């Protein structure tokens, strides 16, 4: 069985290196050059086997998702991803597992020009913590606290696919490969986040479901909102597999979408549409920011709709 250092050598051999990495894997810490006039944006997310991905998920998908969820956080801040570290806990020193994990992880890292510059390797129940570092021109990060009354609420892409894939996996019944793919390989909306600098007033990435994540923006901004359920963007596949009520539940409370939700003045709508169309990413206005606190969910008929729960919360209910 290979030791910790053999595993680290395997990782080091494959990690790409940007010019601004003064010292990467191999010293006691990484040394990174932050360009003048920029702020460093740092985020950290952990994936635990059986909690954040179903047991038996392909290791390359686990690697992809471990980085994707972090790049999604950078995207929501309008930061350009630059570097990451990887704290990996493995039950045994399985080199084949590590190689496949790195296939997915480094595929996404290379796509976004991100260098893996360090980490930690330990033995224990399968889990990984990635810290990602991004750069933003000083003062231009998109915050949760910027939403203003009267603004539009937008979401990118479609919502609910990943949650639909997870629901089908849990039921052990017929499952759509398309929905499952969205669960295993979420696309971090990095370019969209960059395009929204100076256009959006606030942003959040959708990891816990639109209701909970938009709720964070509303709370941070001291406002409320109305969401029109009939406008929630939905994939053809999700519509084929779930009825309308179940879809709303998945879209609002399911989580794992990793789309962006952002607010902007109505006067910026055309610019936003054009900027995102250039990225071939559809974006939809799904509601409006209002003065009255709280989130009001309206059906196409104008009635109020109450979700069964509001987003995945660790330490609540039966979850770990």
Binding site for ligand ADP (CB under 6 A): 8, 11, 25-28, 86, 88, 116, 118-121
Q: Is 184 annotated as a binding residue?
A: no
4 binds Mg ion (CB under 5 A): no
Q: E-strand spans in 124-205?
A: 127-137, 152-156, 202-205
CB of 171 to ligand ADP, least distance (A): 35
CB of 5 to ligand ADP, least distance (A): 7
95-111 and 59-76 helices, crossing angle to 10°: 30
Of residues 95 and 120, the one with the C-beta less far from Mg ion: 120
CB of 55 to Mg ion, least distance (A): 27
- 94 with 147: CB under 8 angstroms? no
Q: Is 240 annotated as a binding residue?
A: no
Q: Is 207 annotated as a binding residue?
A: yes
CA 143 – CA 78 distance, rounded (Å): 9
Q: Is 36 annotated as a binding residue?
A: no
Of residues 7 and 269, the one with the C-beta less far from ligand ADP: 7
CB of 28 to ligand ADP, least distance (A): 4
∠ CA 210-211-216, nearest 5°, is: 95
Of residues 30 and 159, the one with the C-beta less far from ligand ADP: 30
Bridge partner residues of 80 (DSSP): 135
Site string for Mg ion, 101-130 (x = CB under 5 A): -------------------x----------
27 binds Mg ion (CB under 5 A): no
CA 257 – CA 252 distance, rounded (Å): 10
**Closest residue by Cα to residue 257 from 171, 192, 165:** 165
CA 197 – CA 136 distance, rounded (Å): 9
- Residue ranges of the binding site for ATP: 119-120, 144, 207
């Amino acid at each position: 069985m290979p030791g910790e250092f053999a595993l680290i050598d395997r990782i080091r051999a494959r990690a790409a290196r940007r010019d601004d990495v003064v010292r990467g894997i191999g010293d006691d810490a990484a040394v990174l050059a932050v360009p003048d006039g920029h702020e460093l944006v740092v985020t950290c997310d952990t994936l635990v086997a059986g909690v954040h991905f179903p047991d038996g998920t392909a290791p390359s998908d686990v690697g992809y998702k471990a980085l994707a969820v972090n790049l999604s956080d950078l995207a929501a801040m309008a930061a350009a991803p630059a570097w990451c570290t990887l704290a990996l806990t493995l039950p045994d020193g399985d080199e084949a597992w590590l190689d496949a994990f790195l296939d997915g992880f480094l595929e996404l890292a290379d796509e976004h020009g991100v260098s893996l510059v360090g980490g930690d390797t330990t033995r224990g129940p399968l889990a990984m913590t990635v810290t990602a570092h991004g750069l933003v021109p000083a003062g231009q990060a998109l915050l949760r606290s910027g939403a203003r009354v009267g603004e539009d609420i937008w979401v990118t892409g479609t919502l609910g696919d990943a949650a639909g894939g997870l629901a089908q996996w849990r039921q052990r019944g017929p499952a759509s490969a398309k929905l499952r793919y969205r669960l295993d390989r979420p696309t971090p909306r990095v370019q969209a986040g960059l395009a929204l600098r100076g256009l959006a007033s606030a942003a959040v990435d959708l990891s816990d479901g639109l209701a909970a994540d938009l709720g964070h923006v509303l709370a941070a901004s001291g406002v409320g909102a109305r969401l029109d359920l009939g406008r929630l963007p939905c994939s053809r596949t999700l519509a084929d597999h779930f009825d309308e009520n179940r879809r709303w539940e998945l879209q609002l409370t399911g989580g794992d979408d990793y789309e962006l939700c952002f607010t902007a003045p109505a006067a910026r709508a055309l610019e936003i549409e054009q900027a995102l169309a250039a990225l071939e990413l559809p974006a939809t206005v799904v509601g409006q920011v209002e003065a009255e606190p709280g989130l009001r969910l309206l059906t196409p008929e104008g009635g109020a709709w109450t979700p069964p729960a509001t987003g995945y919360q660790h330490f609540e209910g039966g979850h770990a």
